[in-house]
Amino acid sequence: MALRVCIKKKLNYFDLDINFSCFPEELLAMIGPSGSGKTSIIRMIAGLETPDEGRISYRDEVWFDSSQKIYVAPQKRRLGYVFQDYTLFPHLTLRENAAFATRDLKRADDLLEMFGISHLRDRKPNRVSGGERQRCAICQALARNPRALLLDEPFSALDFMNRRKLREDVKLLRDEMTFPIIYVTHDIQEAFSLADEILPVVEGKIDKGWLQRSISSTPSTGAPAKAAHATWLTLAL
């Protein structure tokens, strides 16, 4: 039933080697420092890059399998993919963008309404704000009823307030949609507020300790720990 990913790929600075699943109605937050291979993983799921070896499958469909030489083109995977920066088509209005890959105009209009941008639907992308553009990109991805949704740091270019608002939108989305959602972020707060499951990725591998190291305020080992301890002792005496 799930979207299963088990892939290896040699990247410029490290080898990507990762294995995970994302279930329907689940939001998986993929988190890690910049340049840890998160976008590469998403691109391989979407079919825009191919892994060196491994397997990607969804339900009973295999999208990639190196041993059986299976590769399904991105066109046939029917995924929703919202890119890090704006990829709306500049020559089309927001409404035309939202309806780009569907014949169901009503669905596109409903989505624009749901995301609060239907009053801007006749504007071109360069005449609306960054947040409104990314909302429209989500509408575009959802309008064709995708089988899974990939969100690659969709709000990283936005200011704090816009990010908070859009995060609420994604929460609503998560509760309504029945497909798996993979959400890439490097913002720990964002991951905690949205995710059903958190997947920390560091240098192309799952690193369960990374999250702990990043959020713990007290250093656990080494000289700083000793110093902290010593100060406490002095105070106690």
Q: Which residues bind other proteins (CB under 8 A)?
A: 46-48, 73-79, 81, 83, 85, 87, 89-91, 100-101, 140-141, 144
Question: Would you state the torsion angle of the CA atoms of residues 15, 63, 182, 49, taken in this order, to the nearest 10 degrees?
Answer: 50
Smallest separation, CB 46 to other proteins (Å): 5
Smallest separation, CB 99 to other proteins (Å): 11
Smallest separation, CB 16 to other proteins (Å): 19
Pairing of strands 61-65, 70-71: antiparallel
Smallest separation, CB 91 to other proteins (Å): 4
Q: CB-wise, 36 or 140, nearer to other proteins? A: 140
Please give the Cα distance from 11 to 214 (Å, whole number): 24
Q: CB-wise, 15 or 61, nearer to other proteins? A: 61
Q: CB-wise, 74 or 130, nearer to other proteins? A: 74
Please give the Cα distance from 58 to 153 (Å, whole number): 22
Please give the Cα distance from 139 to 25 (Å, whole number): 18
Q: CB-wise, 80 or 204, nearer to other proteins? A: 80
Smallest separation, CB 155 to other proteins (Å): 17
Smallest separation, CB 17 to other proteins (Å): 24
Q: CB-wise, 73 or 236, nearer to other proteins? A: 73
- The candidate with the shortest Cα–Cα distance to 105, out of 94, 117, 96, is 96
Q: CB-wise, 146 or 204, nearer to other proteins? A: 146
